[in-house]
Amino acid sequence: MSATKVKEVLHPDSVRVLESFDRLPDVALIQVQVVSLLLCCSAPTIWRGVRAGRIPKPIKVTGGVTRWRVGDIRTWLNGQIKGA
């Protein structure tokens, strides 16, 4: 799927966060949609990876809100690249 098509089907906020990911502070919190974009997989795949211990655990912000710290994802991604 082309980048233009991807942007058409995604929520604009998720695309905006993904585009600015490198400039976000480590303490910034991102949604599962952004993590799935970074890893090029679906949200259910992210949750399966978390349960299996392959993807960092998110933090509970409130009862129905779960987010990942950008710094945790960056650290994990760097480890994945070095381990490849």
pLDDT tens per residue, range 42-62: 999 999 999 999 999 999 999
Structural domain boundaries enclosing 62:
3-83
Number of folded domains in the chain?
A: 1
Per-residue pLDDT tens for 4-54?
444 445 566 667 777 888 899 999 999 999 999 899 899 999 999 999 999
Query: Is residue 43 within 8 Å of residue 36, measured between CB atoms?
Result: yes
Q: Would you give the distance in Å from CA 11 to the centre of its chain?
A: 14
Domain with residue 31: its CATH number is: 1.10.1660
10-33-31 Cα angle (round to 5)? 130
pLDDT category, 66, cuts 50, 70, 90? very high
